[in-house]
Structure 1
């Protein structure tokens, strides 16, 4: 049964008892990455393997997300700054132990070309996973850090490849 979590704001990103921060670089421009994150929510399962379903709710003010394995989230978008930032908090979940959870995706133009021959410097992507829960959950999240980092980096690479293969938008 889904439980209600403590509502938190963006300040929780710095105050959370558990903060996992990961970075990756993509060749795609921040605008394209932001569009995939915030505007094309239903596309998440195609590039983020852990996600089995994602759909906007409340006219885009929230999201419903399901992970492989059965974890479900009802989320509220707390920041949507085009080509820069996308953040959401979990309001309800069936994941045990969580008291609060906020995730933020920051996008910034990367310095220098992604690889030789690139015309655009690409994007530096930073994902922050901020959570609160009892000590056993914090220990489990610390142990899961390498797997979460791998999942994030794989998702960014997969999304980047999909964006490179997609027809240009005008």
Structure 2
């Protein structure tokens, strides 16, 4: 059953009770990585295996994301700064115990490539927080694997 979550702003990325922050590097420049994140939403399942389906909504102002395990999240795009930042807030979800969520992807030039920093900022019930704390290593592994697959996908496009 999908339920409405607490509305948060971008500052939540820094002030959330639960913050998971991970970083990895890719060979592609920031503008190419940004396009893969923000403009090619429907391709996310090809590189982020936790995502089963991602669909733009509201003329690109939002997304609906289905995750493995049956979790569904309706999101609003909070930041769309080409080559620099892509962030979205969860407005509704069926994730047990989740009360608020904002994810931010920061892109920084690193040599000829990009440093990708992902912040998963959340609030939830005690059991949700405990599960997220215990699952931190798995979430980090999922992020690193996803970025590695994204890097390979983007490299295959380069002539």
Superposition TM-score, scaled by structure 1 size? 0.91
Q: How many residues get paired?
A: 159
* Residue matched to 1:115: none
- Pick the structure with more strand per residue: 2
Give the ranges of 4+ consecutive aligned residues of structure 1 lying more than 4 Å apart after TM superposition.
none
* Residue matched to 1:123: 114
Equivalent positions of 1:125-144 (< 5 A) are: 125-144=116-135
Structure 1 residue 24 corresponds to structure 2 residue 15: no
- Tell me the SS of whatever aligns to 1:108: strand
Whole-Å separation in 2 of the counterparts to 1:46 and 1:59: 22
Whole-Å separation in 1 of the counterparts to 2:97 and 2:18: 13
- The alpha carbon displacement at 1:13 in A equals 0.9
- The alpha carbon displacement at 1:167 in A equals 4.6
Superposition TM-score, scaled by structure 2 size? 0.98
Which structure would you say has the larger Rg?
1
* Residue matched to 1:5: 5
Whole-Å separation in 1 of the counterparts to 2:19 and 2:129: 10
Name structure 1 gaps, 5 residues minimum.
113-119
Name structure 2 gaps, 5 residues minimum.
none
